[in-house]
Structure 1
């Protein structure tokens, strides 16, 4: 008998029952559902169910106090009926202008402030960071009424402050003119929310590895050239996220314009956006009766616009950014 055969005889055999227990089936992680259930219930109750009901309402119309299914007829009225289409297209154009203004002003200012805060020799960094971010935490009501008082031509402080520097002739009732009311509100909104992209981009800059910065400095790449060639490409994903957050926030905007200009979004609907148009339609205002079905139609259009914009970003821009990083 060979040595190998002797060793094989000395090894005890494993019983069949014992061998079957060596590989156990993976345990079912049922506790994950337990932890997710509260969040799913709250999200469904506050988001999914109201959204589904809004979509349902947009397909009905009240006829003799009875809800009648009309399909997409409400959307036809919204786009084709002059009583609805004029206000809808004006609100949509104003909303697009509101968004582009934020995109071209708020985010670049946020990038510049984040770059300044990331300077290693800057003193009082914590104070500046807090001062720039503080307006973000203020209520829309406070911001709207405060700026309305500041810019008032009767009791506002803006004419007085401009008079101190000899520029009182430049003052105009900016919130009362159709040509400047929406731009003024956009500037107020930028002042309030510029702290959000600033903090996000500042955090992204802090996450850049020190080895990358040191390698750039060894190649004499410093100052603005270092920011443009090294830091900016690395924070592009964060800038893209700030842009899509700005898009969603602006097409959901309502509070500031309602607080400063009221539900009619004056003067002469020049500051009317989809949010205020939805509010007047759904709940009614002054001589206008509320129409929940047409209000739900406008809300559905807002949802579709936001969904299309977010989808373009997720499946278009973000995919290209991932390829760029790889």
Structure 2
């Protein structure tokens, strides 16, 4: 036997065995339905037969007023839904994490738990509870505002077209603010004490220390949170559906791509389901998310400086 054969590394077949179940499940649940959806978006039913029409369904979705008005309205609402999360949820999550990471703060474990608990609640519970809270008939919001002399500010926010989407966005922020808080909190705790002690020796303390030392070190974590927020918001459906129904009222003011897809694919009330146009909407959602993730991975993440300790 030659020396090369003696030193030949063994084939690690056990890796494939361990990965096979997860790969098969992921392929059956995610990959095959994805390609099936993309394929279905290229066809249209004519005389009860599927006829290949290429990208004609996309042209109808973007240009035909019967479809485009609803699509652009849902896309705009989805974008506003995402912007609210980026401007409110993530900055507040960073603020809470910075406060809770302070060793001088008492009862920090209780505060972390209280902020994170809504994250584990069901969408149905959250949606139903907030509908009761904000109800102008039997909700407690009017009485709570009245107790502090602000009852004049109360309005049926979920019933007004100009306020409904923003209100639902803030409810979603309340539910999920615990996720960015905990991720940033973990990132702050991973900063070595030696780095912070060296900053204190240079006279960098308090908020100045956070802006000049801690924030640059947690930028990769903030980037991950931002892309997770983007993906989650453009896949959103549950909260809108449980609070406003499939019609996403009032007057489609809270209609997002998820609810628009649901009504189109499965049909609702007098609207007949159209799997081909529904698949077209799902394909557009996939392409939007793919574009956003690609921009982050290849345009932003590569520019973030990572520090090794």
TM (norm. structure 1) is 0.93
User: What's the CA shift for 1:20?
Assistant: 3.7
Q: Which has the larger radius of gyration?
A: 1
The residue aligned with 2:206 is 223
User: What's the CA shift for 1:26?
Assistant: 1.1
User: What's the CA shift for 1:22?
Assistant: 7.6
Structure 1 runs of 4+ aligned residues shifted over 6 Å read: none
User: Are 1:271 and 2:254 matched, yes or no?
Assistant: yes
User: What's the CA shift for 1:242?
Assistant: 0.3
The residue aligned with 2:217 is 234
The residue aligned with 1:180 is 163
Partner of 1:318: helix, strand, or coil? helix
Partner of 2:6: helix, strand, or coil? coil
The residue aligned with 2:30 is 47
Partner of 1:159: helix, strand, or coil? helix
CA–CA distance in 1 between the matches of 2:47 and 2:297?
Answer: 45
User: Could you list the per-position Cα deviations for residues 15-62 of structure 1 after superposition, in whole angstroms to 9, with x for gaps in the alignment?
Assistant: xx5x64783311011111000000000000110000010001101111
The residue aligned with 1:261 is 244
2:188 aligned to which of 205, 219, 235? 205
Unpaired stretches in structure 2, ≥5 consecutive residues? none
Q: What is the total number of aligned residue pairs between the two structures?
A: 308
User: Could you list the per-position Cα deviations for residues 169-220 of structure 1 after superposition, in whole angstroms to 9, with x for gaps in the alignment?
Assistant: 1110000000000000000000000000000000000000111000011111
The residue aligned with 2:6 is 23
Partner of 1:61: helix, strand, or coil? strand
User: What's the CA shift for 1:99?
Assistant: 0.4
User: Could you list the per-position Cα deviations for residues 71-119 of structure 1 after superposition, in whole angstroms to 9, with x for gaps in the alignment?
Assistant: 1110011011100000000000111111011001100000000000110
Partner of 1:62: helix, strand, or coil? strand
TM (norm. structure 2) is 0.98
Range with bigger deviation, 234-243 or 23-32: 23-32
Partner of 1:268: helix, strand, or coil? coil
The residue aligned with 1:63 is 46
The residue aligned with 1:248 is 231
User: Are 1:120 and 2:103 matched, yes or no?
Assistant: yes
User: What's the CA shift for 1:125?
Assistant: 1.0
User: What's the CA shift for 1:64?
Assistant: 1.3
The residue aligned with 1:84 is 67
CA–CA distance in 1 between the matches of 2:149 and 2:298?
Answer: 53
User: Could you list the per-position Cα deviations for residues 230-287 of structure 1 after superposition, in whole angstroms to 9, with x for gaps in the alignment?
Assistant: 0000000000000000000000000000000000000000000000000000010111
User: What's the CA shift for 1:163?
Assistant: 1.6
The residue aligned with 1:74 is 57
CA–CA distance in 1 between the matches of 2:4 and 2:99?
Answer: 63
The residue aligned with 1:167 is 150
Unpaired stretches in structure 1, ≥5 consecutive residues? 1-16
Partner of 1:67: helix, strand, or coil? strand
The residue aligned with 2:178 is 195
Partner of 1:235: helix, strand, or coil? helix
CA–CA distance in 2 between the matches of 1:246 and 1:232?
Answer: 19
CA-atom RMSD in angstroms: 1.2
